[in-house]
Amino acid sequence: MKKRISVESIQVGEEQTRALVVAWEKQKVGEEMQETPLGEETIAFDSKLPKPEVIPLIKEAAQRIAAKAKEAKTTREELNKLLEKEVIE
């Protein structure tokens, strides 16, 4: 499934710019599909870098976000499976 990417915050300095990259996915919430954040990552780049050259950096960050989210989902599922037989007394 394709994920939407956005830049939600920018801090511009004389030499370096920092951008907060967010990857989004659609999830079914109740009866409707809603866009929810998959994760976020801050990237830094030279402030003088032409904007088209920043796009690949943003896409790379989004790929890392998606990989981390997939790993987190797997870990959560594994832990919940291990907890199935656990009870609190």
75 is a domain residue = yes
pLDDT at 1 (0 to 100): 63
62 is a domain residue = yes
9 is a domain residue = yes
71 is a domain residue = yes
Per-residue pLDDT tens digits for 39-84: 999 999 999 999 999 999 999 999 999 999 999 999 999 999 999 8
**Structural domains in the chain (count):** 1
* pLDDT band, residue 3 (cuts 50/70/90): confident
89 is a domain residue = no
How far apart CA 44 and CA 82 sit, in angstroms, is 39
**Structural domain containing residue 72:** 4-83
61 is a domain residue = yes
* Strand order across the 4-12 sheet: 4-12, 16-29, 32-46
Residues in the chain, overall count = 89
